[in-house]
Structure 1
Amino acid sequence: MSKADISSRADVLYLIERFYTKAKADELIGSFFTEVVQLDWDHHIPVITDFWTSILLGTVRYEGNPISPHISLHKKKTLTALHFERWLDLWEANLKEHFAGPIAEEALRRAKMMAPMIVYKIEQSESPGFIQ
């Protein structure tokens, strides 16, 4: 059976919910979601869904700064490139498990661009005079 591409907010929500189920259980990064930050999942899931829907489907619902929460998290527990590599591995596996097509490929491409950028910004945040 062939997989459908991502085509709606409901698809993005499905992707996000499945991803976080796996991420929270992951040995390397799970504690960031379950212990370090006490996320209000009823708030967080729609925000992240808005973020990815904006990127993938061109909606303009996301308002925020995706870097700032990661810097705040890093101040509580060190985030490294290794953590983002694992995030990316889980994201890619989750995408490929559930979707196929140009928008799914774009979701992976964007994640591959985001991960090193977030790591860079986190590293820069430790420099004197850092401006976000």
Structure 2
Amino acid sequence: MQYQTITKKNIRIMVDRFYSSVLKDDLIADFFIEKLGDEMISDEWQHHLNLLTDFWASMTTADNSYNGTPIKPHLDMQGLNRESFQRWLELFSQTIDKLYEEETANIFKTRGEMIAKNFIKQLKL
């Protein structure tokens, strides 16, 4: 079953599934493992997953629980490049397509592409 609407509950499911796929990816897993470790059950990962759930809720719903600056943690990451962000978008889209109906999925995809472009611009990649 695919979701028609966006809720914080299904955003958390999406975030968990997305980052599970990220940790298995040869191209981008190391960025996350270096910062958070390789076990999503750790306190560091759980904090990150909660933060990202709030972030995506603020990007796709009227939820305003996210309070942060998403670019800041990426500024000191060595090795980030356009290919990294392209792979992030591919994995993100695959996850979204599995969980949401097309119209709803497109909301996430549009915002994900906007975020990736903004990061690339701000990081001067």
The normalised TM-score by structure 2 is 0.88
CA distance in 2, matches of 1:117, 1:28: 20
Give the superposition deviation at 1:70. Answer: 1.1
Number of corresponding residues = 119
CA distance in 2, matches of 1:8, 1:64: 20
CA distance in 2, matches of 1:19, 1:26: 11
Structure 1 stretches of at least 4 aligned residues deviating more than 4 Å after TM superposition: none
CA distance in 1, matches of 2:10, 2:76: 29
CA distance in 1, matches of 2:5, 2:82: 28
Give the superposition deviation at 1:101. Answer: 4.2
Matched with 2:117 is 116
* Structure 1, unaligned runs of 5 or more: 125-132
Secondary structure of the residue that 1:123 maps to in structure 2?
A: coil
- The answer as to whether partners of 1:56 and 1:103 remain within 8 angstroms in 2 is no
Matched with 1:38 is 36
CA distance in 2, matches of 1:113, 1:25: 24
CA distance in 1, matches of 2:5, 2:95: 12
- The sequence identity of aligned pairs, in percent, is 27
Give the superposition deviation at 1:3. Answer: 1.9
CA distance in 2, matches of 1:92, 1:8: 18
User: What is the aligned-residue RMSD (CA, Å)?
Assistant: 1.5
The 3 A distance-change label for structure 1 pair 54 and 114 is: same
Secondary structure of the residue that 1:37 maps to in structure 2?
A: helix
1:41-89 residue CA offsets vs partner (Å, 9 max, x unmatched): 111101000000011111000000011111122xxx2100000000000
The normalised TM-score by structure 1 is 0.84
Q: Which amino acid aligns with 2:110?
A: R
CA distance in 2, matches of 1:117, 1:22: 23
Secondary structure of the residue that 2:124 maps to in structure 1?
A: helix
